[in-house]
Structure 1
Amino acid sequence: MTQRTPHTGSYYAATANDQVDRPSLQDSIDTQICIVGAGFTGISSALHLAEAGFKVTVLEGARIGYGASGRNGGQLVNSYSRDIDVIEKNYGKELGSALGHMAFEGGNIIRERIEKYNIDCGYKPGGIFAAFNAKQMHELKEQKTLWERYGHEGLELLDEDSIREQINTDAYIGGLLDHTGGHIHPLNLVLGEAKAFEELGGTIYEDSKVTKIDRSKRPVVHTENGSVTCDYLLLAGNAYMGGLVPELASKSMPCGTQIVTTEVLDEDMAKSLIPNQYCVEDCNYKLDYYRITQDNRLLYGGGVTYGGGDPASIERFVRSHMEKTFPQLKGVQIEYAWGGDFLLTMSRLPQIGRLTDSIFYAQGYSGHGVTTTHLIGKLVGEMMKGNAERFDAFASLKHYPFPGGQMFRVPYTMIGAAYYGIRDKLGI
């Protein structure tokens, strides 16, 4: 019998709605479309494809939502890790416009999924970008103008008094409230989407780590105890793909991020911290993010460990950030502390494309994956139905290896991050 892989010891895993173990693959089977990875990219794509009538099989090396999809901050943040103006500057107005008109679609897809399939994942609307200094506030004003140019509505600038009404801290001088942002229990979202996929006839195998891919006209995907032959293959393992596809691994880097969740707070205390229950992320290069959960805990995350993995003590690492933001929580009990890896690209833009005419990939959301993965899932569905225009817009983005190669990419990236960290502290 296959050894079952447990989820990480997170708040999300402890409060997951679906505790079902799916079987591992034990046979050689045939399907139209095989997807490797049962996170947001894989499950979002699978659900769109199943809705279109395709026969789809998903292989997951551990558990549904085991990686970043079930460990992240749970925030619905619009646009991409590099905003539309950067895309316009680096890739041209035409491509910038194409991606810009898709930049706000992911959150709407999530809300549609929640409503259509009655997914209980604690959705709360509204998200704040919080500014520490005048430079960051100026950038938020420019962001508001940029997003509104692409038709995005529901943005509200907050001055120093207004942001203190929304967040009970003296840390910020202002911010930008996006009423179409929001937050969810991410593991319950992906589990709810997986259940919807299965109800449409889809199949998910857990604990079925892919060991080899035969890149034939009809690809064959091998696991330890079985194989899947398919017409089309989508690789959606992100930071947990390992070295399965070397040409992708050289152009991306796993990075760790850490989160803690407090004990259940008194209801008055929880409401005093963030009265309207918006989620928050600050504007620093290595940003902090936080929100109040359904059961009145503060969930707080931040920092990056380049190359992946966690610091010696996640609690000690994150607590210092949390108590700096909210001194009134000094000494509060931390009940859950966990980490996980996301996948960073050199450009900070997603890697979407084709390895062959029948093998596709989607990965590298660079810390901005909750909404973007749902957009990409829709684009995969469009492509398989014969309309690849929007998929190909992402596929046309050029990606390059990190400087220094596999050995030196981590220290080189850390040097760059330190530089931007100094700029954040100096407000320049």
Structure 2
Amino acid sequence: MSRAEIRASLSLAGIYMLRMLGLFMILPVFSIYARTLEGSTPLLTGLAISAYGLTQAIIGIPFGIWSDRYGRKKLITIGLIIFALGSVVAALSESIYGVIAGRALQGSGAVAAVVMALAADLTREEHRTKAMALIGVSIGISFAISMVAGPVLDSLIGVPGMFWLIALLALAGIAVLYLLVPNPIVSRFHRDTQAQPARFRSVLANGDLLRLDFGIFALHAILTATFVVIPLVLRDTLQLETAKHWQIYLPVFVLSMFAMVPFVIIAEKNRKMKAVFITFIGLVAIADAGLMLSGDSLLTVAALLFVFFTGFNLLEATLPSMISKTAPADLKGTAMGIYSTSQFLGAFVGGISGGFIQGEFGIPAVFLFCALVALLWLLVALGMKPPRHLSSLLINLGELSTDQAHEFSRKLLLVPGVEEAVVLSEDGVAYLKTDKTLLDKEALQRVLQS
């Protein structure tokens, strides 16, 4: 990658990270704070935690489409301002309804797809996967920081103060956008990062992609429902002060990150993706079932959270990779758009389900619900085909006629290791799926130079 591409990728990852911090930071503390709000009930608490998911799911794809017409930076700015306004509304609210409105407004600043599109504008095809990986890593980092920073900041400035801080982070994102992110020379549609609404039917007809979409829906429903009640378990059942919750989250999260690495290697290098994937869905189910029965032992709860986060982190990391391997070469952006929508809908459903079940049946029933969702996901995942161990490769070919594009596609499919090849004259790009262990790079180069 060039220095400009590295700068663009890191700065856009920073913007993404600042926004995700704002969504995640209240997760480990809000259920406790919500009890002080006028009109609060468990159901409304769950809705306040997850309201952003519904608005993000509705507006996310349209934001990306609008950015093609009105400009990337303009849409990102508008989105971050909306996000900041939502944070201010939540900060000033003394009722649960005001916080719900603020969180819904936060989700309306749905800039994720636009950030991805701008990253595609600013990177060459052969380096785009690296840029997207950096942005993906920023999401994991923001979640880890949020789990630790949330309880600490709550003890220092309270949840309203956190919402003010979140608003400032959104404004900092705008500063990063204009001070550090280069302006693209050309801004155009990218099939590998942006959704094509006209092709939704093709993606939704793919059973394996639907299984993966259900997977991310279930994973974020489980996560959000679990964190509707986990802060209450730590404080009320285990008598651990909110300010000290980070002492549980920090070691649990760090150890879980190290614990998952060998299994990621086994899944990728030894081509055991489906076996590892299904095993870790089972681990999430076991963790939530254990939390239902854990009683009042802090050590037991910490151990089960370690199991939960190990499963969650591995599944969160491997699901996008599986989408990329499964989606047709020229529909990756469309598949990822539907996948992201499913993720945010899962967070929304998890929040309201967790709150409702807690209010009606108690905290153990929430963990039972999460375990049952994981078991349902396990049954759904058993029917999927083992994902092909293929890598996406984009090659810029320049201007082509339709006949030249067809000829390139035919020649590329003859190269050993090239499993899929779609060359579109209007894009001037070859979208390939390759098996790296079999790819004949010299033969590929000869075709490209012909």
Please indicate, yes or no, whether the TM-score normalized by the shorter chain is above 0.5: no
Higher strand share: 1
Higher helix share: 2
Shorter-normalised TM range: under 0.3
Whose Rg is larger? 2
The TM-score normalised by the length of structure 1 is 0.25
